[in-house]
Amino acid sequence: MTHPSHSARYRTDLKQVKAYGSAKMGAHEWLLQRLTALALVPLTFWFITVAMRLFLCTSFPQMISIIASPLNTVLYIFMTTTMLYHGMLGMRVIIEDYVHCRMARAVSLVVVYGVTLFTIIAGFVAIIIAHVTLMGAA
Amino acid sequence: MSENALPAHPRPLSPHLSIYRPQISSVLSILHRITGVGLYVGALLLTWWVVTLAYSSFRPMPAFWDCFTGICGQVLLIGWSFALFYHMLNGIRHLFWDVGKGFELKTMCRTGWAVILGAVVLTASAWTLVWLYYHQPDLLPWLS
């Protein structure tokens, strides 16, 4: 093996050997992106139906009966989590594609993951608070 | 790929946007990405809107409510719903590609146009239903 001047020889033999092979990660994200996408197809149709009904509510009891239904509650939590997680995975791909500086990429990924998780939890809290309010009003 | 420093001798890249005419494949692909980002931002905003609604005991602050039901909010909502339908239909097209079906050129073009048409039709019908019900509630009793 040729040995260039010492200052240029950063790729030591050990480093080269350690970097061999695949990244050994990423298959999980790829699969989850497809699985969440598949789950989101029926969930989106449900979401649109309920959103339209809520949008067109003319009275408060109407709104309550839509929100208080246990199926709607569970599906709301399921939908929020799945949609935001799918979006998080997608944003990860976009950031990895377009942000080239290593530090900026790491920071952007952490920010996106953090904001998404925060919003998912906020969505949970919102539906719980909604139920507490409804039970108080009933 | 993860270089922080600028390369000492920047190498020339082959041209891309300057030589290719926009085609159904490329336009739909980048639109899928753009709608994805728009949907993500909109989903965050919508979730936060629901949070504020829950905390104000479903009696929303007038300024905030007007923001969402005013003309600006309506336009954004229609745009978000178009992005939703488009991204979903193109996503289904992507899922078919993932199992290996639909790569033939003719199929790709046809399904591409079908996705655009489907997204426009679904958005138009959803908002027409909303508009119809808003003005004539008795027309669609199953919606209430």
Residue B55 near chain A (CB below 8 Å): yes
Which of B35, B128, B65, B41 is closest to A116 using CA atoms? B41
- Residue B1: per-residue pLDDT: 47
Which one is predicted more confidently, B129 or A41? A41
Nearest to A34 among B36, B51, B95 (CB): B95
Q: Which of B122, B124, B142 is nearest to B133 (CA)?
A: B142
- CB contacts, 8 Å: B78 with chain A: none
pLDDT category of residue B137 using cuts at 50, 70 and 90: low
pLDDT over 60 at B66, yes or no: yes
Residue A32, pLDDT above cutoff 90: yes
Q: What is the pLDDT of residue B144?
A: 47
C-alpha span between B13 and B15 (Å, rounded): 6
Question: Residue A123: its chain B contacts at CB < 8 A?
Answer: 47, 50-51
More confident residue, A19 or A46: A46
| pLDDT over 70 (residue B133) | yes
Nearest to B143 among A34, A56, A116 (CB): A56
B69-84 pLDDT per residue, tens: 678 888 999 999 999 9
Q: Under the phi-then-psi rule, with left for phi > 0, alpha for psi from -120 to 50, and beta for the rest, what region is B58? A: left
User: For the residues of B14-78, what is the DSSP string, one character each?
Assistant: PP-TTTPPP-HHHHHHHHHHHHHHHHHHHHHHHHHHHHHHHHTTT---HHHHHHHHSHHHHHHHH
Calculate what percentage of chain A has a pLDDT beyond 90: 52
Q: pTM of this prediction?
A: 0.84
pLDDT digits (tens, 9 = 90+) for A36-74: 999 999 999 999 988 888 877 777 777 778 888 889 999
Reply yes or no on whether the pLDDT at B10 is more than 70. Answer: yes
Q: Taking 50 as the threshold, does the pLDDT of residue A135 lie above it?
A: yes
Tokens in use for B42? 């909109």
B106: pLDDT strictly greater than 90: yes
Chain A residues with CB within 8 Å of chain B CB: 34, 37-38, 40-41, 44, 48, 52-53, 55-56, 58, 60, 62-63, 80, 83-84, 87-88, 90-91, 94, 100-103, 105, 115-116, 119-120, 122-123, 125-127, 129-130, 133, 137
What ipTM score was computed for the predicted complex, to two decimals?
0.84
Per-residue model confidence (pLDDT) at position A23: 77
